[in-house]
Amino acid sequence: MKNILVTGGAGYIGSHCVKRLTDDGYRVTVLDNLDIGHRAAVENASAGKAQFVQADLRDTELVTKALRDNAIEGVIHFAALAQVGESVQYPLRYYDNNTAGSVSLLRAMDAAGVKRIVFSSTCATYGEPASMPITEDMPQIPINPYGWSKLMTERALTDYANASEGFGFAALRYFNVAGSDPNGIIGEDHNPESHIIPVVLNCALGKVPKMKIFGDDYDTPDGTCIRDYIHVNDLVDAHVVVMNALNDGDQRFYNLGTGTGSTVMQIIEAGREVTGHAIPAEMGPRRPGDPPMLYADPSKIKNELGWQAKCTDIKQMVADAWTWFKNNPDGYRDK
């Protein structure tokens, strides 16, 4: 399988996947509507080798054409809106973009005869698990529209696979993605930015006055929340491994993480050490709905496919992200 379509390939994770695939000699087509992605990310990631199609997934006819014109054999599907708070405020936007967009993609794949897809799902489908670590067989009860929009897509994939001979898919549920390609030519550029490591680094750059910490009275080593962070390059490596492992009729579900977690304070301290900046922090009350800890049990994918995260050092993840941020303080500058 050499011809791959990457949806959302102009985004943070998608562009890293494009780089990995083009570096490995795959023929890559990127489909992105550029609402939140960056054309420059595609160019930087692929050195101009990727075919770019500006289109919305909900345009089934145009997506079908892109699949046929580029002889696509497999799809890696990242395209989605992913802000939890925004999804609560604008739920229909999330169901329309994430769920309906994915259904449109499946319709296009059906029309073009494409039988393989790796779907970017999320740990948000688990809601607030009763115990840690999180395994794939735990109940999936999302607590926000973002999580539901992804879970509904998992359901659509399952139902379509049951009805479509030879179709194989995998849904990869991942946790907090961090870092960037160490060479610093691509990185994380969201507006607004809500992810903790970019906010820490923007604070080091003077673009954010101080870090706000939501709660220091959790039952964790330093009282702040624990989350599982996975390096973006490890994440895309898992997508490629899974894509190449898919067989007719496969319905695979995997957690992607390191199996350990870092506290909010550990992230801030790593930022201070890596950047050499003070990064002032202000303690505040807990946010409603923030579990004390969330981390994955990634043993299933290790046992079945031999994959595991190579980078488990949060300081290294922050350092790789800092390479991008210090070299590109204004992001891609294409918007």
**DSSP run (H or E) holding 176:** strand 176-178
pLDDT for the residue 334:
73
pLDDT in tens, 136-181: 999 999 999 999 999 999 999 999 999 999 999 999 999 899 999 9
Question: Which of the residues 12, 126, 146, 295 is marked catalytic?
Answer: 146
Q: Burial level of 1, CB count in 10 A (0-12/13-18/19+)?
A: exposed
Cβ atoms within 10 Å of 65's Cβ, excluding its own: 16
Query: So where are the chain's domains?
Result: 3-176+230-256, 196-227+260-327
CATH number, domain 196-227+260-327: 3.90.25.10
Q: Residues 116-134: what's their mean pLDDT?
A: 95
- Helices and strands of the chain, counted as H and E runs: 12, 14
Q: What's the pTM?
A: 0.96
The span from the CA of 56 to the CA of 280, in Å, is: 41
pLDDT for the residue 100:
98
pLDDT for the residue 335:
61
265 by DSSP, 3-state: which?
Answer: helix
Ramachandran angles phi, psi of 51, nearest 5°: -80, 130
CATH number, domain 3-176+230-256: 3.40.50.720
- Does residue 146 have an active-site annotation? yes
CA contacts within 13 A on the Cβ side of 203: 25
Using pLDDT thresholds of 50, 70 and 90, give the confidence band for residue 256. very high
pLDDT in tens, 285-325: 998 778 889 999 999 999 999 999 999 999 999 999 999 99
pLDDT in tens, 31-63: 999 999 999 999 999 999 999 999 999 999 999
In b/e form, how buried is each residue of 106-121, taking b as 16+ CB within 10 angstroms?
Answer: bebbbebebbbbbbbb
